[in-house]
Amino acid sequence: MRNKFPLSLALCASVLAGCATLPKATKVEDFGAAVETGAAILGSMATTNRTLAFTIGEEDQANNYITGRNFTLGDTPDRFFDPARINVRRQALSALSAYGNALKKAADGTAIADLENASVRLGEAAGKIVAAASPVSAPIIGPAAKLAGRGIGFVIGNAYAAEIQSIIVARDPDVAIVVDLLKADLAVIAGALQLQFDDLQIQRKLTLVNVRSDRRVDRLRLYAEYESARRELDILKLQVAAANSYSAVLDSIVEAHSELVRNEPDAAASVARLVALTNDLSELVAAIRKG
């Protein structure tokens, strides 16, 4: 009987070997966060594009005003990207985000734990019935049925994890494709932001030159105007620079999904299963000894 423990452990190890496991929660969250950041960058690009277009138009009207020409207090924005074109990209990222959210729920481990626990409960209940019907062999039936229930639970849990993993693997090429498309498109949009920023810089410079041409404006006022223009442009410059980080953000989406595909075994989950199985086997061995 003493030799049965190492044998049991070997059995446990063999049952657990090749187990399909769900991706780690932190990795699923990393993927979700990367997608959210990608969506935020796209949103920020669209907003900056629009803001710059309106600000340039406003600056143009201000110039008209201070130089004695006709002007308007209404909006006269320069051309900016059609929101419908931005929305197509946003919808693709939304679909990716919805996939990430579904993955988060499916891979949180609750489903597998529920299946395994329910299977063990069923095994125990079946054991009690058999034990009640045949009192002679009662001591080992309970632990044996529990062990069988846990084994079945593992098999069902594995099947579930394998199904989730197969969905992740199947979508991996699509993640790479959509990210490549977005990188190419966002590069085009980012190019426009830089041009718009240059336009605003020159338009603002024109305003400063026109203000300076009035000899009644003292140097202190001129200095304040210059500083004000610099601060305004600095804020927009930061927004343009932030939008230009799209490439690294999109790369992180591909990287985070590849991590899910690789799905390195979750040591904690495997150990927990091994402990549960070992406990059941110990109960069975103890029952056999008593018998």
Partner 1 sequence: MTLEEAQNEFTAAAVEFETLIAGTPVPASNDTTFWSRLKTLAMSVLGTVAPMSAGLTMRTAMQAVVATHSVIKKLADATGNAVELERYARVMRGLTAEYTALAEKVLDQSEAKYAPIAERFKSAAASLKEAYQKAEQLASSLNLGADLLNAFGKLVSVL
Interface ranges with partner 1 (CB under 8 A): 56, 60, 63, 78-82, 85, 88-89, 91-92, 94-96, 98-99, 101-103, 105-106, 111-112, 114-115, 117-119, 121-122, 124-126, 128-129, 132-133, 156, 160, 163-164, 167, 170-171, 174, 177-178, 181, 184-185, 188-189, 191-192, 195-196, 198-199, 202-203, 205-206, 209-210, 213
Min dist CB 27 to partner 1, Å, is 15
Q: Is 124 left (phi over 0), alpha (psi -120 to 50) or beta?
A: alpha
Nearest residue (CB) to partner 1, 83 versus 265: 83
Of 12 and 131, nearer to partner 1 (C-beta) is 131
Q: Whole-angstrom Cα distance, residue 266 to residue 25?
A: 10
> At a CB cut-off of 8 Å and minimum separation 6, what does 125 contact?
none
Please say whether the dihedral angle defined by the alpha carbons of residues 129, 133, 135 and 139, taken in this order, is positive or negative. Answer: negative
Cβ–Cβ under 8 Å, residues 38 and 289: no
User: Minimum CB separation from partner 1 for residue 50, in Å?
Assistant: 12
**Is 91 or 137 the residue whose CB approaches partner 1 more closely?**
91
> Residue 234 CB: number of other CB atoms within 10 A?
10
- Give the residue with the Cβ less far from partner 1, 4 or 128: 128
Q: What CA–CA distances, in Å, run from 51 to 132, 233, 244?
A: 78, 12, 16
Q: Please identify, using beta-carbon distances, which residue of 77 and 286 lies nearer to partner 1.
A: 77
How far apart are CB 7 and partner 1 at their closest, in Å?
A: 29
72 vs 213, beta carbon nearer partner 1: 213
Q: Residue 60 Cβ, how far from partner 1 at the closest point, in Å?
A: 8
Closest distance of CB 137 from partner 1, Å: 15
Cα distance between residue 128 and residue 121, in whole Å: 11
Q: Which of 54, 48, 60 is nearest to 202 (CA)?
A: 60
User: DSSP character for 37?
Assistant: H
Q: How far is the CB of 35 from partner 1 (least distance, A)?
A: 10
